[in-house]
Structure 1
């Protein structure tokens, strides 16, 4: 009996200082209760500057106890050769994450601006990075900081929160990081390829400046990320709606899938929807995406719009 009571009171004590493990998405109410707990690190990844370059949105107002890590400048992505936006060296990511006060016991909540689907894709790219590094205690703030701040009853902090550095040790999951050869082999085996860019890029009507050629991977389906959030805002649609949209795009939500876009940014949101919200454990993200694929002479590209420029 003594052991039972000890466990009960220990659970009560832990419940007051440690967060309940949530799912891949948390809402503003969860953040309001948990953002300053010992084992929670809210990661504000906004990049926008106010008054030119003098002050960041983070400094002017952020979720209490959140730390800042600029998605664009902090080192979450790197240029490899001529290909932009790819996964940096693992040791660099370990140092980046540890410096933010994160170790294997920390529950990370990624808080983007929440302006639109592209903003939410930044959060899912960071989320995917943590998962790739073997860190499962990670969530995303649905609606982002903008959604949190919409309720005027919720307070924001100003200034800067400086974390105490920790040692972060990754446990890489290489199966989550297919290279172009593995993508080509998977496509030959019938794995579904999903292009999460706008339709004009998918069709080859326009070419993104980070790619060398217009078009898409041969046989790919198209599901623009703007479909995945409510009115292209910062709130993800329900799993039921996302499943219907996937089927509308003629994609089997249960089938093995490789998500891609131009640089692995948009497709991180597609991967998140497929893997984390719809439970497709056979969904993967092609990091190099069209920025890499279009530079490889041996890799075919399908251009559905073939009229002369």
Structure 2
């Protein structure tokens, strides 16, 4: 319990006064009284007004803010994993529900009304502070890609306060965070406002070929050069002119992002523009690894004009009219 302690004084030193209140001889206006009340309420409610400190939050921060009123924690793991134990207060939001088949191309962003309804069903409000976490003990950044794709999805819907949990579920366990099997349900009021400036369509990428737009391929290098391909991608190779910034240049063996200094150094090797306002498009096979690329470019490296090509190589290769290149990239 939070107590407001005042020195012992006679009652006549705390009295009403026209235009305000006089506390121990200090006049407090109605405005100041309201501010004081808000501060006391914030203290009593457990830092209910705290905002996310950045695009990545630590397990320590999350522990300290589990009871914040606007905090929504989304568990992207499978329902089975969620049922076995999850972060207290987390809502099950399996990653499989964040994407769907659109006109023959799988794993696309659902229509805005569909994804809006889903996010409302897992408790996301317009003013929510959303923290997403996944199982990062997966090869090739697959778990982290779920977190960054969820982050980008919220951004593309116009929501502006979300963060990844550093280390994911494993980071929470390593920090000795508590687990629960108590299932939480909530319904939110999110109203989506599509942000086209961070979304690239097939038609736009076609128009971007042979322009100053920098296309960034975030797949493993052996797929970029055309030695192998994902089984659901129709053709080998990459979009002509793309620069390589593979997932292995962004994600370490522990499933977490590499240190910022290494991300910056490898971005220079890849050929990222010096101008942080230059237009860029990230892509992969399905927009999954590309969401890591988008997150790194925008949240870690400070690029301001980056779109994610949602259809990526699945869509690009599906339409056999679009060119691909094999071998070493430019």
Above 0.5 in TM-score?
yes
Match of 1:10 among 24, 38, 43: 38
Quote the offset at 1:155 in angstroms: 1.1
In structure 1, what is the Cα distance between the partners aligned to 2:316 and 2:115?
Answer: 24
2:70 aligns with 39
2:179 aligns with 156
In structure 1, what is the Cα distance between the partners aligned to 2:313 and 2:129?
Answer: 33
Quote the offset at 1:125 in angstroms: 0.5
Is 2:247 aligned against 1:247? no
In structure 2, what is the Cα distance between the partners aligned to 1:76 and 1:268?
Answer: 13
Quote the offset at 1:239 in angstroms: 2.6
The count of corresponding residues between Structure 1 and Structure 2 is 293
In structure 1, what is the Cα distance between the partners aligned to 2:312 and 2:185?
Answer: 35
Contact residue 35 and residue 66 of structure 1 kept, 8 A: no
In structure 1, what is the Cα distance between the partners aligned to 2:51 and 2:70?
Answer: 10
In structure 1, what is the Cα distance between the partners aligned to 2:172 and 2:114?
Answer: 31
Quote the offset at 1:9 in angstroms: 4.1
Is 2:60 aligned against 1:60? no
Match of 1:260 among 272, 280, 283: 283
**1:238-278 CA deviation, whole Å, 9 max, x = no partner?**
33321112112222262321000001001000000001221
Instruction: Please give the root-mean-square deviation of Cα atoms over the aligned residues, in Å.
Output: 1.7
Instruction: Provide TM-score, normalisation by structure 2.
Output: 0.84
Contact residue 45 and residue 110 of structure 1 kept, 8 A: yes
In structure 1, what is the Cα distance between the partners aligned to 2:69 and 2:215?
Answer: 41
Is 2:320 aligned against 1:297? yes
SS of the equivalent of 2:272 reads coil
1:114 aligns with 136
In structure 1, what is the Cα distance between the partners aligned to 2:288 and 2:128?
Answer: 25
Runs of 4+ in 1 over 4 A off after TM superposition: none
Quote the offset at 1:114 in angstroms: 1.9
Larger radius of gyration: 2
Q: Which moved more, 1:193-202 or 1:243-252?
A: 243-252
In structure 2, what is the Cα distance between the partners aligned to 1:4 and 1:78?
Answer: 52
Match of 1:27 among 58, 77, 81: 58
Is 2:319 aligned against 1:286? no
**1:218-249 CA deviation, whole Å, 9 max, x = no partner?**
011111112213x3323223333211121122
Is 2:107 aligned against 1:85? yes
In structure 1, what is the Cα distance between the partners aligned to 2:98 and 2:72?
Answer: 17
Quote the offset at 1:281 in angstroms: 1.1
In structure 1, what is the Cα distance between the partners aligned to 2:235 and 2:266?
Answer: 28
SS of the equivalent of 1:29 reads helix
Instruction: Provide TM-score, normalisation by structure 1.
Output: 0.90
In structure 1, what is the Cα distance between the partners aligned to 2:248 and 2:239?
Answer: 20
SS of the equivalent of 1:188 reads coil
1:219 aligns with 241
Unaligned regions of 5+ residues in structure 1, if any? 48-54
